[in-house]
Structure 1
Amino acid sequence: MTKTETVTTGDGVRLWAQRSGRGATPLVLCHGGPGLWDMFDDVAGLLGDLATVIRWDQRGCGRSEPCDGPWTVERFVADLDAVRRHFGLDRTALLGHSWGAQLALHYTLAHPDRVGTLVYVSGTGIGPDSDWHGAYKENQRARLGERLERLVLRRELTDTPKRDEAREREWAVLHWSAEFPDADRATEHAERMADPWLGINSACNKRLNAAARRVCGTPGLYAACAGLEVPVLIVDGAEDIRPRSAVDSLERALPHVTRVTFPQAGHLPWVEDPQGFREAVGAGLGPG
């Protein structure tokens, strides 16, 4: 049974949330972005017999109430805790993807007693952006190939004072198509990500990315990860355009970590290897 609910945060912002699945283990999903919305339909379906899956749209994004922030890591950690409390969970497993992996990690560091397992999917580690961002842009250009010129043109047309949702969606689909190594199906997969189209919160994206960058690479973050007693499963796609070497910094720091890398998967490994993803996450969650 799927049930949609409204979570009210500590500062009164209303968040969209949905519970589904029948497994004994509670599992809260944290979507990527920042500034996007939950796109975990396939993941919820894959894991629904292994866990009770809770999805939510982060503040000011997707189906959640529009708001003006604040766009800080601390505020988003507090929002995630409001989701946990709303569903009456003393402890939960967390699965975060991309930016959501960073959010789930920061939550786990802040509240280790409230997390049973952290599943860290397609994140970029805890080192500075300079460790990986340049290579990421190079890989993106190579993956896009002849589509790159269209992407640049669409970005120029989208960056206008008057917002054009159709152009923004077309830009996003082009941009996201680079996340999939199978060129023949990349646009199809990216179109699925954009359906339904709920719009990108650009202010959230820019400010929260900047806030997260200020933390990465700091001695305090390395030390906190080194002292984390929660088991962590790192899940990667070897064909992700973000260099997987970026995540080595996190893997080295954690005392209780398992890493699974799918050789033919990109940034959304459950798309290219759904069965492998299900098995890896199921093993990470343990017996329900």
Structure 2
Amino acid sequence: MAESHVVINGVRHWVRVVGDPHVGTPLVVVHGGPGGFIYDFERLTGPALEQLGPVVYYEQRGSGRSDQPSDRGYSIPILVDDLEQLRRHLDLPRIALLGISFGGDLAAEYTVAYPERVDRLILQGTALAGPLTPSTWGSGFEAVATDDEMRTAIRSAVEQSGPHAAWDVVDRETTDRFLFHQPASAKQVRDLWEESGLINTGEMAADLGKQPPRVVPLVDDLAALHIPVLVLVGFWDRNAGVDACRDLTTRLPHARLRVFDDSAHFPNVEETERYIDEIAAFLAARRDPDS
């Protein structure tokens, strides 16, 4: 269980490797946010996931236990290159990727940039439909708000400043109902967030929101590759949205979709046993000989 800091592109990144990454194909977990961290995933899902084979955890620049870049250097290309430099540092010929929420977008971007390095790709709660401006945020928060005052505040914020503004007005209880289906799961994760002492500064999200849009939609580039993809989404996920994840799976010729009936954005917490079973089956499946 080697834990260390690795300097990548001038920024000290937190990295933890469990198992021998040179035995089999290691699974690299890419956290969400943007600007989040992996502390809770390590503790709630990691022990079971690690039984499947070697796992690499890392936190992106400016996130969690990794250092912030001195120049506020946040962009998709640099985040992709950070991951590639990490792969090279660990001397891993090929990797499997598990991208969570925004981490799924980043994992997909890496796959498009380095398809020869990716054995297979898992996208959790990721629709690849523009992670910084999803149209479901306003309606999703309204759906779980329990009083008219909160619903009015959400509606007003979205009308004035767009869907992202909903996050600025919702309280903790509304956020928990938005992200989780089971209150006990929300408490588990909240307790670990507080235990970690880590925060999301918001800087990465702000910078990525200023980046120009892709010339070619990410889903189009990913669809052109012969790489197996597993799409995981909770039935109650109002962040990515079940419909968007279903449609994403339809667009990708080598993708399969798994919907978790009793989960929202984090089926890894709310239905851990089935979550691990689905990933185990996917990692064990033989690849198409043409891929």
* TM-score category (smaller protein): 0.7 to 0.9
- The Cα shift of 1:234 comes to 0.6
| Map of 1:3 onto structure 2 | 2
Equivalent residue for 2:102?
Answer: 99
Residues 25, 285 of structure 1: 8 Å contact kept? no
SS at match of 1:5: strand
Distance 1:88 1:219, change over 3 A: closer
Go from structure 1 to structure 2 and tell me whether the alpha carbon gap of 1:249 and 1:66 turns closer, same or farther (over 3 Å shift). Answer: same
Instruction: Give the counterpart of 1:51 among 50, 53, 60.
Output: 53
What is the aligned partner in structure 1 of residue 157 from structure 2?
none
Partner of 2:68: 66
Is the CA contact 1:32–1:101 (under 8 Å) kept in the aligned structure 2? yes
The 3 A distance-change label for structure 1 pair 177 and 128 is closer
Aligned-residue sequence identity (percent) comes to 29
Q: How many residues align?
A: 265
Distance 1:147 1:106, change over 3 A: farther
How far did 1:177 drift? 4.9
| Partner Cα separation in structure 2 for residue 241 and residue 191 of structure 1 | 22
**1:82 deviation in Å?**
1.5
| Alpha carbons of structure 1 residues 208 and 176: separation in structure 2 relative to 1, 3 Å | farther
1:220 to partner: Cα distance: 4.6
User: What is the TM-score of this pair, normalised by structure 2?
Assistant: 0.81
Counterpart of 1:180?
Answer: 180
CA offsets 1:202-257 (integer angstroms, 9 cap, x no match) = 1112122443x823xx5453431221111111111111112221223422221211
Matched, 1:121 2:124: yes
Superposition map of 1:1-288 within 5 A: 2-9=1-8, 11-21=9-19, 24-39=24-39, 40-41=41-42, 42-67=44-69, 68-126=71-129, 133-146=134-147, 149=150, 175-183=175-183, 186-211=186-211, 214-215=213-214, 219-242=216-239, 243-286=241-284
Residue type of the alignment partner of 2:256: T
CA contact (8 A) 1:147 1:174 kept: no
Instruction: Please state how far the C-alpha of 1:143 moved relative to its aligned partner.
Output: 1.9
- Aligned with 1:25: secondary structure? coil
1:214 counterpart SS class = coil
Unaligned runs of 5+ residues in structure 2 are: 154-167, 287-291
Distance, in Å, in 1 between the alignment partners of 2:231 and 2:244 is 12
Contact kept? 1:25, 1:50, Cα under 8 Å: no
**Structure 1 residues 273 and 77, CA, compared in 2 at 3 Å: closer, same or farther?**
same
Using the TM superposition, give the Cα deviation of residue 195 of structure 1 relative to its aligned residue in structure 2, in angstroms: 2.8
- In 2, distance between residues paired with 1:275 and 1:203? 34
1:66 Cα offset (Å):
2.1
Moved more, 36-45 or 138-147: 138-147
Structure 1: which 5+ runs fail to align? Answer: 153-167
Quote the Cα distance in structure 2 between the aligned partners of 1:128 and 1:52: 29
TM (normalized to structure 1)? 0.82
